[in-house]
Every structure is written in structure tokens, then in C-alpha cells.
Amino acid sequence: MANKRKKLTPITKSKKSNNPTNIRLKPEVSRKLINRFHVLIKAKALLFTKISLPKNHKLSEENYSSILSDSYPRINQLYLTRKNEIFTKLSQQSKKHRTEMRNDLFVTLSKLHDCRLSNDITDQLLSTAIEILAEIDAEIDLQGGLHTYQVASLNGQDKLRGSDSSKKLIEWLTELCKSPPDLPLTALEIGSLSSKNQISTSKWFKDNVTRIDLNSQDSDTILQQDFMQRPLPKSEKEKYHLISCSLVLNFVSSAQERGEMLKRIGKFFKPSKDIQDHGIFPCFFFVLPLPCVTNSKYINKENILPLLNGLGYSLLKYHESTKLVYMLLRYNESEKTKNFKFQKKELDVTRKAKRNNFSIILK
């Protein structure tokens, strides 16, 4: 009898090579995958805060593989070997057993004290940290990597919102200024999964949409790029009338990096004087999962708006759906507060309900 091949990922190989917009997952499967990715990404972010590097480099989701392979070859070897071993082990285990194995992740992480990254792999603390990193990455790879998360997000778009989030953007633009101004409007979409969403297909931005993503699903239409590494604009021509950042900030691993991203976005807007702009452009379309503002220990609607104001953003439109919060904000550099800071401070400590740790720090 032919050997039945074990299905390793929730998305089969043949489907994986197809356009992700065509892959359909059950809503329950999408939800579980997205939640698990968030847990794993959060665990990695916590782990990175516990590893310190010589010369104050900071490890992050975006840079750790190149830092490990370029500067710490022995540690990198340990990481790769361990990841391979765990990948093989996990792929032979039942789903239930895998979940049990990983449930203690945060407990282990909370016990881990600061460890300094050097090439000394005999350091027990450091090798534990690297092993945890390898375990998390093995599980992410086993699920099909970032690709699976993106497919699940695309499916989530359909099921949770009735369509893609940029539908709300186009609805608001039409409501605020009826039709596009005469000059061509340009848009930058950070964290783009498809060129078929409303930003790209509506009459507002026509062919002037730049789409980027850490992991491009279509190299013809989406540039594979980390926004934090995107070269800063050298001239007004390289700036945008609209920047969309939908469900990306919650994906960024640490509160400080989220603050850095919001600040950096400000450098990519066209100046407002340039356009008969109906008081709207340049603007920022910003979407977060609703619990980021309704159930976070540190962020709520009352403090996120002053935080955004301090960075030069003022609110034009706000909408909460059952799952997401949508904001349209006008950007004006001259309205920025100089040296604006925002610290992480627990809100309403008397509140008993279980809350999430979403936060933003501006230093």
C-alpha cells in the first residue's frame, strides 16, 4: 500500500503556489491560525527584549536572522540545528501534543533573565534563549511560515469585514470630498496582501499605488520590503498623499518599534500646501484590531488620539466594527509637538477583566 504523506501545514503545497487570494480557508481555521501567529510573534518579541547584544544593537523580527548569521556564526549554527531537530520532531507529533508542548512558552520566557549575546554557546541562559527562538520558528515554519498567516489574514478580510478594509477608506474619501482632485493622488500601502483591494482598484489612486510587504505574495505588484528599511524620500516626488497601514502596527513586535513606525510614516507624506486637498490630504488610513483600543492595559480611545495628535495626525473619521477600529487622519507636520513622548502606563488598574498588552511607546 502506498505510504500516505503527512500533511504538514494547514495550506497544502499545491495551494501554496497559487495566488493567495484564491485560497479559501474556513473562518474557524483562519481565526485559529491568526491567533496562534500572534502568540508566537509576541513570544519572539518578548524573547528579543531578554537578549542583549554588544554595542547596543537591538534584535527584532526583521533583523535577527541577518544579525545571527553575519555576526554570531556559532550561535546561528546552534539555532539552525535546533530548529531542524524541533521541526522534524513536531511534524511527527499529533496537534494536541504540539499544543501541550508549547503552552508553557510564556512561563519559560518569564523565567528567563537578561542574557548577553556573544559567541559563547556554553552560556546556559543564552543557549536556552536560542533554543526557545528555534522552537518558535520551527512551529511557524511548520504552519507554513508568514505565507500562511497572510493567507489566513486575506481570508479573514473576506469573512470578518464583508470585504477588504480599504473599502472603508474609499467610502470615507467619497463622503468627504465627493470626487478625486484633478492632480493624480499617490498612495503607499504598508503591509499589502493584494493589488485587488479598493485602494488599488478605485478611481482615487488609479495606477499610483506603491504596495510593500515584508513577505510579498506577488512580486509583480507588491514590493518585498520592510517599511522600517525603506529609504527615506529624497524629494516631494517620492512622498505620498495617502499612507495605508491596516492591521500592520499590531504585527510589529514591540511598543517602541510601533512608536518608531508611526513617527517614520510621517516622513513619507507630501506637504499639505501642495494640493487643492479639501482639507483631507495628506492622510493616514490606520486600522487596528478593536481590542487594541478597547481592551488593552495601556491604550484606549482617549489616549491614542492625543498620541497621534502629538505626531502631527488629526482625526477626520473614526469607526469601530465588531472586530476592527478604523481611523482616517490628516497629517500636518507643523502640528507635531516637538520632542513628543508617550510612556507605557497602565490604565485603570482596578479593572479586573483580562486585558491585552498592546501598547505604543514614543521616546
Ligand X SMILES: C[S@@+](CC[C@H](N)C(=O)[O-])C[C@H]1O[C@@H](n2cnc3c(N)ncnc32)[C@H](O)[C@@H]1O
**175: its cell numbers:** 463622503
Q: Is 243 an interacting residue with respect to ligand X (CB under 6 A)?
A: no
Q: Alpha helix (H) ranges present in 10-163?
A: 13-16, 27-50, 64-71, 73-91, 95-103, 105-111, 124-142, 145-161
Q: Is 226 an interacting residue with respect to ligand X (CB under 6 A)?
A: yes
Select the residue interacting with ligand X from 11, 140, 169, 248 (CB under 6 A): 248
What distance in Å separates the CA atoms of residue 311 and residue 263, rounded to the nearest whole number? Answer: 7
Select the residue interacting with ligand X from 115, 136, 247, 262 (CB under 6 A): 247
Q: Are 286 and 249 in contact (CB under 8 A)?
A: yes
Burial annotation 320-333 (CB, 10 A radius, 16+ → b, else e): eeeebbbbbbbbbe
The annotation status of 279 as a binding-site residue, yes or no, is no
The annotation status of 123 as a binding-site residue, yes or no, is no
C-beta closer to ligand X: residue 139 or 277 = 139
Q: Is 64 an interacting residue with respect to ligand X (CB under 6 A)?
A: no
Q: Is 37 an interacting residue with respect to ligand X (CB under 6 A)?
A: no
Select the residue interacting with ligand X from 126, 190, 222, 325 (CB under 6 A): 190
3-state secondary structure of 217: coil
Other Cβ atoms less than 10 A from the Cβ of 301: the count is 12
What distance in Å separates the CA atoms of residue 144 and residue 152, rounded to the nearest whole number? Answer: 11
C-beta closer to ligand X: residue 165 or 272 = 165
Q: Is 150 an interacting residue with respect to ligand X (CB under 6 A)?
A: yes
Q: Is 25 an interacting residue with respect to ligand X (CB under 6 A)?
A: no
- Residues 278 to 297: which contact ligand X by CB under 6 A? 287
- For ligand X, how many residues bind (rule: CB under 6 A)? 21
Q: Are 212 and 248 in contact (CB under 8 A)?
A: no
Q: Which amino acid is at 340?
A: F
Q: Are 251 and 210 in contact (CB under 8 A)?
A: no
Cβ at position 362, least distance to ligand X in Å: 17
Cβ at position 220, least distance to ligand X in Å: 17
Q: Is 251 an interacting residue with respect to ligand X (CB under 6 A)?
A: yes
Q: Binding site membership: which residues?
A: 191, 213
Residues at the site binding ligand X, with contacts judged by CB under 6 A: 146, 150, 153, 157, 165, 190-191, 193, 212-215, 226-228, 246-248, 251-252, 287
Q: Binding site membership for S-adenosyl-L-methionine: which residues?
A: 191, 213
